[in-house]
Amino acid sequence: MAHGELFDVAIIGGGPAGLSAGVALARALRSVVVIDAGEQRNLKAEGVHGFLSREGMSPRELVSAGREELARYGGTAVEGFVTSASRDGGNFILSLKDGSTMSARRLLIASGITDDLPELPGVAERWGRDVLYCPYCHGWEIRNQRIGILASDSNAVPEALTFRQWSPDVTLFLNGALSLGPEGEEQLRVRDVRVVDGRVQRLETDNDRLVGVVLDGGHVVPLDVLAVSPATVSKANMLQRLGLEPCGLDEGEGTCLETDESGRTSCPGVWAAGNATDVSAQVMTAAAAGLRAAAAINADLVLADTRQAVEEARAYAR
């Protein structure tokens, strides 16, 4: 079934970036719909960190609060999965998995990314708990614990040195992915970061807690936390019919959308914000990016509305 209303803006993704943009646009008296598939990247985390005044709030609670704010200002939030986007004149038509469609004058992509985790037994089950990625999201909570870093490329050295800020007990597992040079060896040595060669075969748990990793020879290295570096894969494949596809990252494995500073993509009328364009964005920075994109979208619509008003006035005067 099709939705007949033409929205000023359709936002794909109802996480911090999408909801922040939706609230800003609704407060600007724009008709806005936020379409959310309910697959935010941080849903497995116990709490949100680094977000002023919302420290420790559960991700689901934050999303719920954002939806309430959106509704308060007249915005619409719907659950759904957008499969494709196409043009219809100067507008966009979104096709959803349930067969329905929605139309809008402008699009904001805030669909985020998927973490492609290492294929190591136990990692996926513990992701967001004692297997994690971002020290700024979890560092305080894991301070002074036994932290392991699973290397996937040369970024593992600065990653280990960063986690060393929160604990004196850090171990870097080379895992066959990294050969240390003299500089890296020196940096790790002077910061008392242990280096373990060999491959990690699986995680060791006890009472649903990580207690160590098992190496290929069967030796167990005790740990409380394991940091991994997943590939971050864009979830913006619905834009292919518009000629807009995710591109590779400058560093690390994964894909994202390219934008300018306002979030504008190379496709006219389409913006992106949050992890969709910045894979390292935390909750607060993603929300800020959504706000910035909302302002740019509204400014673009103001110009479009003004052009139309001028054309109508000139036509009337003839």
Over the stretch 276-302, which tens digit does the pLDDT of each residue have? Answer: 999 888 999 999 999 999 999 999 999
Cα 172 versus chain centre, distance:
26
The H or E element containing residue 158 is helix 156-163
Asked if pLDDT for residue 195 goes beyond 70, the answer is: yes
pTM of the model: 0.91
Residue position matching structure tokens 């929160």: 166
How far apart are the C-alpha atoms of 169 and 173, rounded to whole Å? 13
Asked if pLDDT for residue 41 goes beyond 80, the answer is: no
Q: Which of 224, 237, 261, 276 is nearest to 97 (CA)?
A: 237
Q: Which residues have C-beta within 8 Å of that of residue 127, sequence separation ≥ 6?
A: 44, 115, 117
Asked if pLDDT for residue 252 goes beyond 80, the answer is: no
pLDDT of residue 135: 93
More confident residue, 226 or 154: 226
pLDDT band at residue 233 under the 50/70/90 scheme: confident
Residue 141, CA atoms < 13 Å, CB-side half-sphere: 19
Average pLDDT (251-273) is 92
Asked if pLDDT for residue 1 goes beyond 60, the answer is: no
pLDDT of residue 262: 95
pLDDT of residue 87: 94
Residue 260 contacts residue 242 (beta carbons within 8 Å)? no
C-alpha pair distances (Å), 224 with each of 63, 141, 207: 30, 12, 13
Asked if pLDDT for residue 81 goes beyond 60, the answer is: yes
Average pLDDT (86-98) is 94
The two three-digit tokens of residue 177, written as one number: 């992915």
